[in-house]
Amino acid sequence: MTLNKTSKNNSSNKLIPRNELIQRFKSVRSFTEDLTKPLKTEDFVIQSMPDVSPTKWHLGHTSWFFEAFVLNDAIKNYKTLNPNYSYIFNSYYVLMGERFIRGNRGFLSRPTVEDVFNYRNFVDENIIQFIEECSEKDYQKYSSILKIGLNHEQQHQELLLTDIKHVLSFNPLNPVYKKVKIPFGKKQKLNWLTFEEGVYQIGNSGINFCYDNEMPLHKQYLQTFQLSSRLVTNGEYLEFIESGAYKKQELWLSDGWVVVEKENWEAPLYWKKIENKWWNFTLSGLKEISMNEPVTHISYYEADAFARWAGGRLPTEFEWEVAVKNIKIKGNFVDNKHYHPIPCVENTSYELKQMYGDVWEWTQSAFLPYPGFKPLPGALGEYNGKFMSGQMVLRGGSCATCSNHIRKTYRNFFPPHSRWQFMGLRLAKDAL
């Protein structure tokens, strides 16, 4: 089994100095642990649904990734702290061996939280030593995989936050992860911006780091379309709810209507009606709904139904990418430490706002390969390609995403019923 062969479309081939990679490694790994500091030991072990993983599993899995794809392969006679960790902390890499059942991760009291932190330290020491001492040939061979591992860990930083939010939401004490003051924003008018038809270049060249699913560059014809100047707000979504939309079958896709009825959905995830007022469970605790914040924790089905109710539609991922071509990557990311979407605080006028950060924006595009797509060889090829069925694309990052992790070509993807990530929407419509 070949794990470390690099492909021509692997954007992580660009070498950086060893000391720079070490500093990057230390920074990403320490930030993961920083995110766990507000937690109590008991918080690390709970799994509230099959899609959620315990915090300690995220800590172990991201360490296993470096061990499995670098240390085991590069260091002769490498000895792990515990051979069973590969079974426990493997996620979906079939080529890497057997895996513990995903939905049962919360059943494991061992390894303990302390054991997992010791494992992280052990892997960190070995990776840093490897980078410092390996041959130039090995550095060229494995540095690209190390960069994939660091971006992989940043994805799990976001999952760690969204998973612990789901865990805490089940507790009747309404626990607070971290008390944060959310900026106040006034109601902003929604304007429409027009983008002309044409043949556009979509995707990533691979000169700088990106995932294989963002490549190759290809051309896409788009008809003239319009995008709303900002994200849809809680206040606008509340109008959708109060119109009886969750009872109107004609607004919903067939599969969506089945889920609405089965799950008894009547509002976004984490919304609770208490004494005729809507409240929202956040990482800062239970708060009354703020009307001007972007609506979040809605499924693709809900986003699609809202768009139809509002007389619009969801943008395609290609429309979204074309729209951000000349927009700088700035927004409400995890770096801002709000851990929650914030209102649009700028006058939207006729510019696109909130394209990055706050919430992942659902698109109407299915997660499919670009023309000429080639997954990475070996087990790393399981990272994206095998999920290109039954998933929808989201763009732009969220309040739980690192600002240096996102880019205009980044393709996130989830099943259409998913809601526990920071997911929201922006409206689009055809220009008639």
For residues 113-138, give the mean pLDDT. 98
Kindly tell me if the per-residue pLDDT of 145 is higher than 80: yes
- Six token digits for residue 322: 């074309």
Q: Which residue has the higher pLDDT, 391 or 2?
A: 391
Confidence of residue 282 (pLDDT cuts 50, 70, 90): very high
Confidence of residue 311 (pLDDT cuts 50, 70, 90): very high
The reply to whether 406 and 371 lie within a common domain is yes
The residues, ordered by sequence, that sit 6+ positions from 420 with a Cβ below 8 Å of its Cβ are 49, 51, 52, 162, 163, 165, 166, 269, 297
pLDDT for 98 equals 93
Domain span at 74:
11-169
pLDDT for 387 equals 87
Mean pLDDT score of the chain: 94
Confidence of residue 33 (pLDDT cuts 50, 70, 90): very high
pLDDT digits (tens, 9 = 90+) for 198-215: 999 999 999 999 999 999
The reply to whether 269 and 403 lie within a common domain is yes
- Long-range Cβ contacts of 126-135 (<8 Å, 24+ apart): 126/67, 126/71, 126/75, 126/78, 127/25, 127/66, 127/70, 127/71, 128/22, 128/25, 128/26, 130/70, 130/71, 130/74, 130/75, 131/18, 131/21, 131/22, 131/25, 132/18, 132/22, 134/74
pLDDT for 10 equals 44
Kindly tell me if the per-residue pLDDT of 1 is higher than 90: no
Looking at the structure of the chain, the number of domains it has is 2
- Six token digits for residue 388: 């290109």
Residue 153 included in any domain = yes
3-state secondary structure of 269: coil
Kindly tell me if the per-residue pLDDT of 222 is higher than 50: yes
The reply to whether 64 and 16 lie within a common domain is yes
pTM: 0.94
What separation in angstroms does the CA of 371 have from each of 203, 302, 362? 10, 30, 22
Which domain CATH number covers 136? 1.20.120.450
Kindly tell me if the per-residue pLDDT of 266 is higher than 80: yes
The reply to whether 333 and 406 lie within a common domain is yes
The reply to whether 57 and 154 lie within a common domain is yes
pLDDT for 13 equals 56
Whose CA is closest to 416, among 265, 302, 262, 264? 302
Final residue in a domain of this structure, among 120, 154, 169: 169
pLDDT for 163 equals 98
The reply to whether 161 and 304 lie within a common domain is no
pLDDT digits (tens, 9 = 90+) for 313-362: 999 999 999 999 999 999 999 999 999 999 997 665 779 999 999 999 99
The reply to whether 85 and 118 lie within a common domain is yes
Name the percent of the chain lying above pLDDT 70: 96
Confidence of residue 241 (pLDDT cuts 50, 70, 90): very high
pLDDT for 92 equals 83
Whose CA is closest to 21, among 118, 134, 121, 116? 134
Confidence of residue 56 (pLDDT cuts 50, 70, 90): very high
Final residue in a domain of this structure, among 169, 201, 231: 169
Choice among 156-170, 181-195, 241-255, 349-363 with the minimum mean pLDDT: 181-195
The reply to whether 144 and 231 lie within a common domain is no
Name the percent of the chain lying above pLDDT 90: 88
- Six token digits for residue 60: 């172990």
Rounded CA-CA distance 34/321 in Å is: 32
The reply to whether 139 and 239 lie within a common domain is no
The reply to whether 282 and 412 lie within a common domain is yes
The reply to whether 155 and 199 lie within a common domain is no
pLDDT for 415 equals 97
For residues 164-181, give the mean pLDDT. 97
Cβ 325 vs Cβ 395: under 8 Å: no
pLDDT for 186 equals 82
pLDDT for 3 equals 38
The reply to whether 147 and 287 lie within a common domain is no
Confidence of residue 285 (pLDDT cuts 50, 70, 90): very high
Which domain CATH number covers 386? 3.90.1580.10
Rounded CA-CA distance 90/94 in Å is: 9
Backbone angles phi, psi at 365, to 5 degrees: -90, 130
Cβ 30 vs Cβ 99: under 8 Å: no
pLDDT for 284 equals 97
Backbone angles phi, psi at 374, to 5 degrees: -135, 115
